[in-house]
Every structure is written in C-alpha cells, then in structure tokens.
Amino acid sequence: MHNETTQLILIFKEKKLDLIKISLLLNAFEIAKRISFQKQKNYTRFIVRLSIAATAISVAAILITLSIVNGFQHTISDKVYDFWGQIRIASVNGAPLEVNKQMEQGLHSIAAVERVTPFLNQSTVLSFQQDIEGVVARGFAANSATPFIIQGRGLQNKTDSISNEVVLSDHLATTLNISLGATVRLYFLNVADVQQRKLKVVGLYHSGIEDYDKQFILVDIKLLQQLGNHPNQIEGYSIQLKKGANIESVNDEVQRLMPANWVATSIKDYYPQIFDWIGVQTVNRNVTITIMLLIAIVNLLTCLFILMLERIPMIGTLSALGASQNFIRRIFLFQASFICWMGIGIGSILGIGLCLLQLKFGWIQMDETAYFIKTLPIEFNGAQICAVILGTAIISYISFLIPTLWIKKIAPAKAIKFD
C-alpha cells in the first residue's frame, strides 16, 4: 500500500512538472506573440516585418534559382541527347563499321537502354533553285523517331525500298527559301564521282542549337549506304537511355559488349564544350544560394539583436520577478520562429508562384543563339524544395541561439533602469 501511494505521489509530481513546463511554454509563446504583432505602430513591428520580408525574398530567390538552373541544365542536355543519344558507339580509329545484329540484341537486353539506332553521316551539297549550301546528311532508319519536328513529319517508308525524303532545319529552309513539299537536290562526292539525288522535303526541325540547325539534314540511312555501295556499312550506333539512367555506369556495361576495336563513349565526351558550359551553371547556382543564405542569416541575427536590445527593460523585469534565463530565451526564440516560418512560408509561395507563372505563360524570353533555348525553362524538384525549407529553418534556429546567449550577461537592476 505504501509503495502504491509513493508511486501515485511520484506520478502526480511528474504530471505537475509537465503541466508547469507546458504553462511556461504557453506563457513564453503568448509574450512573444504580443510583442511581435502589436497592433500599434512601433519600432518592433517594423523590424519584424522587415525581417520577414528579407527572409521571404531570400527563400524565394533560392527556389527560383534552383528551378531555373534545373530547367536550363536538363533542357540543354535533353536537346543534345535527343539528337545524338546519351552514348555513341564507333570504331577506335574512326573507320566505318558493319551492322552487328548480335551486338544490337545484347544492347537491347540492358534494362536502361531504350533505343539503339545505327547512323551514318556524309558531307553533301544542298541545292535549291539557284542557291546551294554545304551540309552534313545524317542518315538513320526511316520510320524511327525524328527529333525536334516543328512542321510536317519525319521520314517514312512503308516498304523496304529507299526513302526519297529529307527533313531540313527551319534555318536552312528559311535561308534557301525552301517550303514543305519542295524538291531539293543533294550532290555527294564519292571517290572521284559526283552523284545527285532528288529528295522531297517532308518536315522541318528546330533544335535551337545553331550548329546543328545550320549543319545537319536528315535522310534515310539506306540512301547513304547505296551511294557508298556498302549496304551494311554504318558510322556507329547512337544509344538512347531511359529517363533517370546513370550514363557512366550504362556506358561501362555497353563497353563490355563491344567487339574488338569498338568503343562506347558518353556523348558528354564528344561535346565537352556544351556540357562544361552547362556545368558552370551549377557553380553560379551555388554562389547565388550561398549569398542569399548569408543575407538571410545576417538579417535574422541583426533583427534578433535589435529586438532584444529594445526589450532590455522587459528582460530585467522578468528576471527580477524570478523568470529563468531559459524562459526569457524561449520568448525570443518563439519571436524568431514567427519571423523564420512566416518568411519561409511567404517566400515559398512567392518563389513557386512566380515559377508557375513562367511555366504557364513563358513571359521571360532568351537569346536562343546564345543559350540554345527561347523561353526561360523551369523545372521543380520536390526534394530540393523540402531541403531549402528545412535547411533555412535549421540554419535560422542555429543563428537564433547566438544572440540569446547574451541574455545571461544582463543584470536585472541595470536592465530595469535601461531606457
């Protein structure tokens, strides 16, 4: 019986202590709310609003920067991948290859591989009426996917014969005044002989990458093989991977299937200037985010120091009434939490909202000759958004602890006299 009574007393004391703790928390919260959101105009109210605005702008700027850089990097990368694939297979010395059906089957057995396309490139002269232009004919199988079509259609062939169709870039079509349905002439130089072919323009493409649009036309690979008298000859294979596949690891897996003197190379290594330029945007992104975080931290530190300095008489009064330093510190941490989370909330809505407006209306336009894209791209990443919100909150709370350490140095007698 005595043991049961003792246990009941202990439980009662624990619950009483818990109630006291909860009461202190609620009291600290109520004080923080009143001094932060007073209706009458005062210095505290102005500082709180200014700090909320600065935090919101920092969070919005970070979210917008991440979304723009994500969209920019992925849009440019996807353009190159759509044209060439993520991996290219060629001979070690650049010599022509022969179609290898057994190897193609092996490549299709790799889970990350979506499509394997043989290709053959050959220099040619494009002629229409009195105009000529030196271009590169890129041959691939008719009826396969043709990238970047904006008018007409891709190459088609319902029989096993050679398709007498061609797809031009809109740049070449505009330069030479060629319209859909027109017939153009291609002149190929093979050894010492010039061969001519008449092809019908069935489609126009626009990649936005000026070097591609000026240089390449798309034809049936069988046409180029016929001109070279080598029906099974190709320059190599382009491999399209499924979304999210790791290019480097798949490239290693592909290389293990290669015959002697064949090599699989990531397309990043073929066009390092483009991908190095894309990589620079990551550095710019990190610098921008670091600057905005530093601004947010300095803003919050300054804000809390000013708020505490203004409330020195209150701190002295509470100390004189027996309030502990932890209780007083808790008041200012609650006040800082109002600023932090309201700033994060407003900044998240602002940043995501502006990005959604750009996605829907595409108001911000870019110089396509310089950036390869016409409309500023936006791409959201849920993990990044959560990381920005949680990361800003964690950094903010760590920053808040620094000024609250100053509370223990305030003497109640001097604080009450402070004005």
pLDDT digits 0-9 by tens, 256-286: 999 888 999 999 988 888 898 888 888 889 9
Cα–Cα dist 212/267, whole Å = 15
Pick the range with the lowest mean pLDDT from 55-69, 185-199, 298-312: 298-312
Confidence of residue 338 (pLDDT cuts 50, 70, 90): confident
At 49-97, the pLDDT tens digits run 888 888 899 999 999 999 999 999 999 999 999 999 999 999 988 888 9
Assess whether pLDDT exceeds 80 at residue 155: yes
Assess whether pLDDT exceeds 80 at residue 108: yes
Pick the range with the lowest mean pLDDT from 121-125, 220-224, 326-330, 408-412: 408-412
At 4-58, the pLDDT tens digits run 334 433 433 444 444 444 444 446 666 666 665 555 555 667 777 888 888 899 9
At 218-229, the pLDDT tens digits run 999 999 988 877
Share the mean pLDDT of the chain: 82
The reported pLDDT for the residue numbered 186 is 94
The reported pLDDT for the residue numbered 263 is 93
Residues 6+ apart with CB under 8 A from 269: none
| Cβ neighbourhood burial of 10 (10 Å; 0-12, 13-18, 19+) | exposed
Mean pLDDT within 400-407: 66
Residues 6+ apart with CB under 8 A from 343: 51, 52, 53, 54, 55, 56, 58, 59, 296
